[in-house]
Structure formats: C-alpha cells, structure tokens
Amino acid sequence: MKAASQSRTGFWLPDSESTPAASSQSEAMVEVRRVSKSFHKTVKSQTTELKALADVSLSIRPNEFISIIGPSGCGKTTLLKMIDGLIPFDSGEILINRKKVSGPGPDRAVVFQTFALLPWRTVLANVEFSLELRQIPKEQRAATAREYLKRVGLEDFEHHYPHELSGGMQQRAGLARALAVNPLILLMDEPFGSVDAQTRQLLQEDLLALWQREQKTVIFITHSMDEAVYLADRVVVMTPRPGRVAEILEVPLKRPRDAEGVRRDPVFVDLTNYIWARLKKAMESQS
Amino acid sequence: MKTQAGANALSILVFAALWEVAGRTLDSTLIPPLSQIAQTWLRLLMSGKLLANLALSLWTLAAGFLLAVVLGVTIGVLMGWFRHVEHFLDLYINALMSAPMTAFVPVLILWLGLGVESRIAVVFLFAFFVIVINTLTGVKQVDRIWVEMARSFGAKERDVFFKIVLPAAMPAIMAGIHLGMGRAVKGMVTAEMLLTLTGVGGMIMQYGSAFATDALFAVILTILVLAMATMRLVRAVDRRLTGWKAEVAVE
C-alpha cells in the first residue's frame, strides 16, 4: 500500500524477493522495480479502483527462462503487457537492458494465447507481418520468414491460411512470427493455454529445444504448475487482488530436461506440490 | 454451387412453362404469354430503344452507386475509427437509414432540378446509408487482439489502419456494398419513374399507362436481369477481396 509514495521519491530500494544471483543490477536483462498499477472503472458515476498490481519487483537475467504462475486476476498478463510497453503503469519502472520501457520495442516480441494470427494472410504472410512493420525489404522478408517457419516445423504449410491449421500449428506460426524479428526477449502469454494436452506437451519440448539454440530471455505466463516447473529456471508465484509476487522459486533441475523423466524427479514433484500449496493458500484467503 | 445452378435452371424452366401455359389459356392482355414477351423484347432490342434507355439507366446507376461507395466507406471508416465523429453523425445516419428515401425526391427536384443530377442523387441516397452503417460496424468490430498484436510489433497508427483495421473490416464493408447495390437499382428505377420519365423506369411508366403489357413485362424482366447481374458483379469482387472469410465462416 505504501508502494506508490515510496517509488515517487525516485529511489530504488533493493527488495528482499530478488534472488542473490539476480541482485547484481548490471547483469539484468529485465528489471521490474516496484511497479504498481490500478484500473479505474466507472459505473453510474461511481468510480471504483481495482488494484491490479502492487509493488511488483522482478529481476531477470539474460537468457533466463522465467515462468510466472498465479490464479486469474493476479495481474500476470498485465505485467507482461507492461514489460512489452503496451500499457502504462502508475508507479515504479521497468528497464530492459538498463533502458526504461516507454513503448513496444524491437528487443521484445509477444506470443499470444489466442495466437492473434491474421485470418486474411497465409502462414508465410503472417510471419512476414512483424518484418513488414520493420521495413525489411520484400525478398529478405520472405527468406527470413521461411527460415523461421522451418525452425518451428511449418515449412510445408507456408501457403496455408491459419484456419486450415490445428491450434498447435497456429501457435507454432505465432512463435515463428515472434522469433523472426530476432528479439532478445520473448514474452509468452499463456501460449499453450488453448491447445490440447498432448499438443501442449510437444510444444513445450519444442520450445525448450528452440530456447536452448536461440539464446533468448523468455518470460512465460501460465496457469499450469507442471508447465511452469518443467520449462523454467525460476518460477515466479503471484497472488491476486492486488497482484503481488508471493515467491520466486529456483528450479534446480538439470538441462536438457527429458519431458517424461523430469516429471518423476522428486524435486519436480516437491516443487509443483509446494507451488500448489502456496497458490491454494492465496486463493483461500481470497474467498 | 453446381447443384444450385442446376436448381436455378430447372426453376426458371418450370416457371416459364407455367407462365406460357397461363398466358395462352387465359388469353388476356394482362398476362401475355412468355413467347410474346420475348418477341416484343427482341423488337425493343433491335429498334435500339431498349439499349439506349438501358445505357442511360446504367450511367445513372454507376455514378450514384460509385459515389455512395466512395463516400459511404470513407464516412463509415471515419465514424468507426474516431469516436467523436461517430457521436456527432450517429443521429443523422440512424435516422436516415430507415427513412423512406422517396420522401426526399421533391426536395431533390427543387435543389437539383429534373436532370440526371437528381437521378444520381436518388441512387446515391438509396445506397449510401447502408454502406455507412456496415462499414462503421465492421471497423468497430475489429478484434482488439489483432490491433494489440500489431502495436506490440511496433505498428504505427497508419499500419494499424491499413494492415489490420481495413482488411479485417472488409467482409462487413463488402456486405454493405452488396446491400447498397440492390438498393441502388431500386433507387435508379424509382428516380426514373418519379422524376423525368427516362431510362428503363421511364419505359415501365410509359408502357404501363398504355396497357402495352408485353413491352411492360419485357422491360421488367430486363431490370430483373440487370439487378441480378450487378449483384453477381459485387459478389465476384467480394470473393476476390475477402475469399479468406468465405472459408472461415462455418455454415
């Protein structure tokens, strides 16, 4: 509650939640500092304030894979949009590579939950979309788009329209579009939330393989504890109303991670159980 | 598609046969047999009278309709894109959308006289409002997630408009143009019947008052074919522009 007044002083106070590894300020790729955000809703001239995020701090290392997990209403998507520069925040600051975020930039690309592919464009033209906006010449655009379609395994589908593809393939196209601009940071907003469980697992494995090759910092929003732990180096647990960082957990599982084996690992089981307990407590105190 | 074309042909054949039989058995000037109408149609065609009037009508139709498309889409887009433009114009567009346009004919005569300008204005008024409303709705209903996606990849307002909003609204805009085309034909005939008796509408009035039913039906059938041809044209353009949509729609 005191976050707003403190942050207006302009001082940055190191917060207790940062892990030792991330506390070195210059190393951070993404630095979220005491960010707060409220939405105002006016119904019949009565304005109610909804606190979406309160005093959120987070420091992310280059090439780190971070999962953010939390129940609906914990502001995780809001946080992601703020890191992307799509929506402003009330107080605090967000730095990417030590530069303040003031809007979307070429260093970040988003993968959307609902894919957000344009139905009037072919798969190839959808991937080219992000390159088009950056004024890249036509031939180079097509070549780059094809290259990334190949990396996500869609090279044979470039002339298809999105509706002709399965959900999993559509999200591969969404991923190719984001990768094509070669961002430093990949912002993924529950990207596998709308595909079936089997496809989801395959996409997770492919994403990890891609991430290990491409050297990207990934911020991955999810509802799934299993997914969060399987993918990430660290899991950020958030609690709702207002959204706060409850805990940041290291995932001490070796990479590359074998999709089946790692899930039987006691460390994996303990971690997911612990996260569930943590979330449950937060949700019970809500209701 | 093929079965529909076959059904159409069969339906026309059956209907024409019934008409022919009815015309011959009733033996009345009120319902001339189809064969007689066809002969009259051929005579009107050969004399050049039908073609001359048809050309006059088509010119009015094309001018009024194109004007309605250009202005209708432009104003619809402005209303959909800028909220204050919508608030400012909403009242008029909605009031005029359902108003009977024939009521404005006397005003148009006073303002523009009895020439082709008035007829073009009638065609325009018939087609304009439905195009505005459809365009407006289409632009407003563009999925926010596409706009957000474009912004996140660095799209400027211009990019958002030309690369997202316009193509996304195109099916709705084309639906408006489709409806507008039908209304434009009605406007054309109305203008020719109520203003100066010219074009195919004028021919209807002329033959109707002279009880020349075979010529009357010949002209009416010509107008029906014309209306269908113009709709076909719009649909062909539509399929070109929004072919992706036809496939998305689950019917």
Inter-chain touch A120–B170, beta carbons under 8 Å: yes
Question: B166 — contact with chain A (CB < 8 Å)?
Answer: no
Domain-located, residue A172:
no
State both tokens at A231.
């993918």
Distance from CA of B5 to the nearest CA of A (A): 28
Residue A170 lies in a domain: no
Query: Residue A185: how many CB atoms within 10 A of its CB?
Result: 23
What residues of chain A lie within 8 A of the CB of B151, using their CB?
Answer: 86, 104
Residues near B237 by Cβ (< 8 Å), separated by ≥ 6? Answer: B174
CATH number at residue A282: 3.40.50.300
- A-chain residues near B159 (CB < 8 A): 133
Instruction: Identify which has the larger pLDDT, B201 or A17.
Output: B201
Q: B147 and chain A: CB distance < 8 Å anywhere?
A: no
Question: How many Cβ atoms are within 10 Å of A273's Cβ, its own excluded?
Answer: 11
- B245 in contact with A at a CB cutoff of 8 Å? yes
B150/A133 Cβ within 8 A: yes
Question: Which range of residues forms the domain containing residue A234?
Answer: 21-107+183-286
Q: Do A120 and B167 touch (CB under 8 A)?
A: yes
Where do the domains of chain B lie, and which CATH numbers do they carry?
A: 35-243 (1.10.3720.10)
Residue A112 resides in a domain:
no
A-chain residue closest to B143, CA distance = A116
The count of structural domains within chain A is: 1
Give this complex's ipTM: 0.84
Interface test with A, best of B153, B174, B240, B241 (most A CBs within 10 A): B153
| pLDDT tens series, chain B, 251 aa | 568 888 989 999 999 999 899 888 887 888 888 889 999 999 998 998 899 999 999 999 999 999 999 999 999 999 999 989 999 998 888 888 888 888 888 888 889 888 889 999 999 999 999 999 999 999 999 999 999 999 999 999 999 999 999 999 999 999 999 999 999 999 999 999 988 888 889 999 999 898 888 999 999 999 999 999 999 999 898 888 887 775 554 43
CA distance A213 to chain B (A): 23
CA distance B86 to chain A (A): 22
3-class SS letters over chain B: CHHHHHHHHHHHHHHHHHHHHHHHHHCCCCCCCHHHHHHHHHHHHHHCHHHHHHHHHHHHHHHHHHHHHHHHHHHHHHHHHCHHHHHHHHHHHHHHHCCCHHHHHHHHHHHHCCCHHHHHHHHHHHHHHHHHHHHHHHHHCCCHHHHHHHHHCCCCHHHHHHHHHHHHHHHHHHHHHHHHHHHHHHHHHHHHHHCCCCHHHHHHHHHHHCCCHHHHHHHHHHHHHHHHHHHHHHHHHHHHHHHHHHHHCCC
Residue A178 falls inside a structural domain? no
